[in-house]
Structures are given as structure tokens and as C-alpha cells.
């Protein structure tokens, strides 16, 4: 790719009078030797999977295999029908959709990792709700995914998109930054404004630890996806209003790396600290282990190695 930082990306957009999405699509086609049409087709297919996951999460059974989670998106969606939300309709909708996709993931449904499975709800939550609200064609949202991908590409290469490496800020945080920046571009903001949105969003995610109960992609991952969608919308609004990230987005990404590297191992997807080690977290883990033993006994597996 021709860019390593968000500043370079915004410069290219300014000089060539292109959107972030156009630059990403061009660079991807050139780097991989695959035609632009084929690259676009692939991304469009992914967007189709995202929309289907939203639908599935709102209407289907999303009970996870562990039995710990499922059905929360439906609760929020029903509540929205029945009463005025504190957030306001569109943001609550984005939250419900993000929860929906995240619950589909936990229940072994099909999703697109954006950038990971643990953070797969945020971008579809923001995108699909915005599409319905603004009446955009699919093609517009597919371009938005290229914009989100370009932002994620910079974060992944300069910090991390892995909870085991950099905590939840690297997964949910990255997804929020990607969704915020993409939302700005989808609504006609400049590349520079999109980059500001990334900076604003990431600042609010710094230090977020990865502490899943029983090591599963459920508690607290699912609610963090729901809340993450709301943060992304808020950051995009600030940027579209002209608010800038005083600390440039690239420098915030640098802090993400600094904080992620300094995070103790127990807060990086090991289940050895944070929410996973609260009294309730430990109790749930213990119950799951016992449940698994019971089921394993029934299915005569797994035995200890002899």
C-alpha cells in the first residue's frame, strides 16, 4: 500500500482528490494483482453476510453454546418498539444491530471478522442501521468497508488488532475507530475529518483490557460491541461538526501500542484477570467446566492422554 499512516492516507486523498475508499480499493487491486471489480465483488459479498447476520441476530435463536449469552439484541429491539430510548432511535438501533451480530458470532453463526470475530458487531451495527436510515445503496456501504479497512490496516500495522497482543482496545477499540472514520466518509466528510474521527474514537478506548469470562467471546465482548457502535457514531458526529483530534490520530495509535505493550498478560485475553476473575466470573467459569465434564462423560470425551 502507498500509505503507512493515516496522515499519509489523508494526504494522498487530498492530492489526488479521492476518498479513502477509492485509494484503498486501488491499492488493494494493485498490490494483489486482482482486478478492482473482483476486489469490489468480494467486499460486496462480505457486506451481504453482515446484513444477514444483523437479521439473524434480531430474529433467530442466538443462545451461545455455553448458554451464557444470547437474546440481548432482541431485548433492546423490543424495548425500542415499546418506549422512547435514552439514546434516541438511530443510535439505539445501531446498538441493537451490533449486539445482534456479536450474538450471532457467539452462537456459531456466520459473521465477517471486522477486524476480529470478537469485535465483529460494531461495523455492521453502524453500517446497516445507517443504510436503513439514510436510504443508501449497498454499493455505498461497500465503499465504506474499504474506508474502514484502510483505517484498520494502519492501526493493525502500527499498533495491533489482537486482544492477546494489545487488549480489547486493539479489537473493539480498532473497530470503533474504523466505524467512526468510515461513517464520516459515508456521510460526505473529508478524509481529514475521517482521520480526526479515528483519533477521537480511539482516545476513548485507550487502556481497554481483554478479560473474557471463561476465555469465551461472550462476556463482556458482546456488550462492548453494542456500546462500541454508539461511541463510533458519537465520534463521527464530533468530526463532522468540525471537532478535531488535537493529538493526531497517528499519535493516538502510537499510544495504543504503548499501552497495549505495557498491559500485563492477565489483561490480554488469558482470562486470568479483570472481569474473568471477579467472583461471578470465576463462578461462571467453574460451572462451565463442570457442565463440560458432564457432557464429555456422556460423549465419552475427552480422556486424559495416557
Partner 1 sequence: MRFKNVFSIIGPSMVGPSSSHTAGAVRIGRVARQLLGSQPETAKMTLFGSFAETYWGHGTDLALTAGLMDYETDDQRIPQADVLAEEAGMTLEWVQGRGNGPHPNSVKILLTGGGRTAEIVAASIGGGTIAVYSLNGFDVQITGEYPTLAVKHSDSQGVLANMTALLSRDGYNIGYMDVDRKGRSGDAMTVFELDSAPEESTIQAIRKLPHIKEVTMIDLTKRS
For partner 1, the binding residues (CB under 8 A) are 1, 4, 24, 28, 31-32, 39, 42-43, 45-46, 49, 64-66, 104-118, 120, 123, 145-146, 148-150, 152-153, 156-157, 161-162, 164, 178, 214-218, 271, 288, 292, 295-296, 301-305
**Local structure of 114: helix, strand or coil:** coil
Nearer to partner 1, 23 or 91 (CB): 23
- The grid cell for 286 is 467453574
Least distance between partner 1 and beta carbon 256 (Å): 15
Q: What Å distances lie between residue 234 and 30, 123, 137, 206, 271, CA to CA? A: 34, 14, 23, 16, 30
Least distance between partner 1 and beta carbon 67 (Å): 10
> 101 near 129, Cβ under 8 Å?
no
Nearer to partner 1, 137 or 306 (CB): 306
> 235 near 289, Cβ under 8 Å?
no
Nearer to partner 1, 149 or 228 (CB): 149
Give CA–CA dist 93/96, Å, rounded. 5
Least distance between partner 1 and beta carbon 130 (Å): 17
SS3 assignment for 221-267: HHHHHHHHHHHHHHHHHHHHCCCCCCCCHHHHHHHHHHHHHHCCHHH
Nearer to partner 1, 92 or 219 (CB): 219
Least distance between partner 1 and beta carbon 163 (Å): 9
Least distance between partner 1 and beta carbon 237 (Å): 23
CB neighbourhood size of 284 (10 A): 19
> 130 near 186, Cβ under 8 Å?
yes
Amino acid at each position: 500500500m502507498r500509505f503507512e499512516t493515516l496522515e499519509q492516507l489523508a494526504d494522498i486523498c487530498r492530492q489526488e482528490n479521492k476518498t479513502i475508499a477509492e485509494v484503498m480499493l486501488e491499492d488493494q487491486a494493485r498490490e494483489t494483482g486482482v482486478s478492482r471489480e473482483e476486489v469490489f465483488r468480494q467486499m460486496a459479498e462480505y457486506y451481504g453476510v453482515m446484513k444477514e447476520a444483523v437479521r439473524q441476530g434480531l430474529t433467530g435463536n442466538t443462545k451461545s453454546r455455553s448458554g451464557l449469552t444470547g437474546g440481548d439484541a432482541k431485548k433492546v429491539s423490543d424495548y425500542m418498539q415499546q418506549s422512547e430510548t435514552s439514546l434516541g432511535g438511530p443510535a439505539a438501533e445501531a446498538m441493537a444491530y451490533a449486539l445482534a451480530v456479536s450474538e450471532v458470532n457467539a452462537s456459531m453463526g456466520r459473521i465477517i471478522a471486522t477486524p476480529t470475530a470478537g469485535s465483529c458487531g460494531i461495523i455492521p451495527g453502524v453500517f446497516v442501521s445507517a443504510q436503513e436510515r439514510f436510504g443508501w445503496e449497498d454499493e455505498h456501504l461497500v465503499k465504506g468497508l474499504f474506508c474502514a479497512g484502510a483505517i484498520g490496516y494502519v492501526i493493525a500495522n502500527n499498533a495491533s488488532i489482537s486482544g492477546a497482543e494489545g487488549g480489547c482496545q486493539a479489537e473493539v477499540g480498532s473497530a470503533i475507530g474504523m466505524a467512526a472514520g468510515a461513517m464520516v466518509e459515508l456521510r460526505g466528510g473529508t478524509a481529514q475529518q475521517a482521520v480526526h474521527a479515528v483519533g477521537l474514537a480511539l482516545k476513548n478506548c485507550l487502556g481497554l483490557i481483554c478479560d473474557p469470562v471463561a476465555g469465551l467471546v461472550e462476556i463482556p465482548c458482546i456488550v462492548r460491541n453494542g456500546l462500541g457502535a454508539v461511541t463510533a457514531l458519537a465520534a463521527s458526529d464530533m468530526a463532522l461538526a468540525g471537532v478535531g483530534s488535537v493529538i493526531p490520530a497517528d499519535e493516538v495509535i502510537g499510544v495504543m501500542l504503548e499501552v497495549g505493550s505495557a498491559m500485563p498478560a492477565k489483561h490480554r485475553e488469558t482470562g486470568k484477570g479483570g472481569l474473568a476473575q471477579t467472583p461471578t466470573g470465576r463462578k461462571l467459569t467453574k460451572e462451565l467446566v463442570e457442565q463440560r465434564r458432564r457432557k464429555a462423560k456422556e460423549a465419552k470425551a475427552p480422556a486424559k492422554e495416557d
